[in-house]
Structure 1
């Protein structure tokens, strides 16, 4: 009987071990399967869009085939030196259609891949880890750190992405100009979302909320001014843009230097680095849900830091435009005014953070320096 009991005990222990091992390994396996599904869905979507681009390119080539034949025949009959240029018109049209849609699909694929690598999970610094010891943050420490906020880190990543990038052609510079309105609007959208949440969901200072709304309004005004700057740039440099987008035969013979442009003609229509960073930040910021008001305070501070990073980024664009890029001086002046408007919005956001700290100094003090310890201070917790 004792031997049978011993065997039964061993069997139970072995089952427990096997059960715990299988349950522990299911998490990473599930995570790997999820990542594999995401990668497969992303690549299949890219391939499907490429197939559609090929179909549209072929259709465009077929539709322009009669025109190409007529143009080539006319050049041949008139003794033009390059009659093949007319016959090749359908091929060029199909190529442009293919490149346009392929680059858009590739940019979307890369943006989704970058979004999958980012992590916006919230680490709750005030989580009650133990009913006796209280929060995990030690007394006397502060967690109102805007430098680690989601908004500030995302905008600084966008700043690093642009400042470490050197455009190869004015078409890439034009893409940066064209992306400024959308990028600034994306930042304004994130600030607006924080303001709306602070008004509707969080027990937040109304004075701080009003200043944050002022920052959002100034960003919207800056985006509207950026729209005018882009339209003015395209009007003033219409001839230069036309030479690259729709070049004449052997247009390269008018180049100032023997070297041709490294960037393709469609680079002007690609999203800029500043725009991509701001839009990605706005998309990911929608999933951010603070679980403690100390995190909300950190985001208030981080919005000011993030807008400062955005202003610094546009400042770099202004300095490069002023020193390196052959554009009209009025375009340069408009970019400088955009920098001033974004910095004004950053000042309002900074004031909102100061008002948040001022109006909530008691709550912050109770969290950072709990009276008689976290367990005692938690006796003032409100019901959830």
Structure 2
């Protein structure tokens, strides 16, 4: 009888593995198809956008030649209409980024286990009546860290700095925003070591991820001073304007006639909630803790996406020196290293707590039977 049950259990595991491979194989094929389609669409849009850009470039260059010949424009080495040549690459990058994000979302949705309809809130434990599927420990819950960082990514994508002093605030605010992100991960490491019934090695692994984010925050502290040094003259025109400073403006004078308008950092504002919410979060079940371990990599990537957006805009849109763009790129690289290290959290958690997790994913004689081993 015992042998028959073991054989039946093995067959069931094989069928489950086949279903998993079939579902994820189809999802990967669809993702690859969407990826190829994204590149094709981006190239097509880039070519279509480049055509009017070339026409405007030719028109601007012709006007420049005529105006210089008539001595109505200064004779400079800078060609007229160069900005129109960027239309094609910018359009291609925007379309490719949008389509690849959609493709990744579709892949994640296709490979995600069934999602529960009741989710834990910060500061609350799971209701006793909530039951869990046995296929993925913690995978059916929402990571608080991931949820908060998704809000950061979406909010920052909508933000458009009105002037260069607002852009400067973003550069200066990078270290504080990343420190808030790191503080949430540090809190998880402390709780893992002091509150949760987890192996001490898990706290060490989370602390390593925290150290990498902290390193990125320290690197981000170099961006603001570098920007101030390279753009000392530009900033002085705004912060200490001379009489009729607007006479040096490239375009028309601002309507309000003002210059110095210090702005708070939007990046700091959207990142502060990460640390605040996480400081109040008290999971009541190890499934919730497992969801946090699993959500840390995606959460860090969300914050890194906001930093990458600042880098892309600094390179394509803001009038800043290339060294500033490179400094932000180094911060983004360190964040991605932290996200890569965080990928080891969930596999390590499963390996170090295999007997505990197996009680939930493969309960002996059902959940009611396994519950006889529950601690008081």
TM-score normalised by L of structure 1: 0.62
Answer yes or no: is 1:349 the counterpart of 2:350.
Answer: no
1:138: how far off? 4.2
Whole-angstrom CA distance in 2 between matches of 1:342 and 1:151: 15
What do residues 145-177 of structure 1 show as CA deviations (whole Å, max 9, x unaligned)? 387211111111011011112222111111111
What do residues 41-78 of structure 1 show as CA deviations (whole Å, max 9, x unaligned)? xxxxxxxxxxxxxxxxxxxxxxxxxxxxxxxxxxxxxx
Gaps of 5+ in 1: 1-118, 130-135
Change (3 A) 1:298 1:377: same
Q: Superposition pairs for residues 149-298 of structure 1, below 5 Å?
A: 149-260=143-254, 267-270=261-264, 272-298=265-291
Tell me the residue number matched to 1:121. Answer: 122
Tell me the residue number matched to 2:11. Answer: none
1:297: how far off? 0.9
Residues 176, 268 of structure 2: 8 Å contact kept: yes
Tell me the residue number matched to 1:311. Answer: 304
Whole-angstrom CA distance in 1 between matches of 2:201 and 2:270: 30
Gaps of 5+ in 2: 1-119
Q: Which has the higher mean CA deviation after the structures are superposed, 338-347 or 144-153?
A: 144-153
Answer yes or no: is 1:370 the counterpart of 2:371.
Answer: no
What do residues 319-343 of structure 1 show as CA deviations (whole Å, max 9, x unaligned)? 1111111111111101000000011
Change (3 A) 1:164 1:193: same
Change (3 A) 1:266 1:255: closer
Tell me the residue number matched to 2:8. Answer: none
Q: Which has the higher mean CA deviation after the structures are superposed, 361-370 or 185-194?
A: 361-370
Change (3 A) 1:255 1:265: closer
Change (3 A) 1:304 1:285: same
Whole-angstrom CA distance in 2 between matches of 1:200 and 1:277: 29
1:211: how far off? 1.9
What do residues 245-266 of structure 1 show as CA deviations (whole Å, max 9, x unaligned)? 2222221121101152889756
Tell me the residue number matched to 1:320. Answer: 313
What do residues 112-163 of structure 1 show as CA deviations (whole Å, max 9, x unaligned)? xxxxxxx9435544x433xxxxxx2144353523872111111110110111
Residues 147, 305 of structure 1: 8 Å contact kept: no
Whole-angstrom CA distance in 2 between matches of 1:158 and 1:213: 23
Rg comparison, structure with higher value = 1
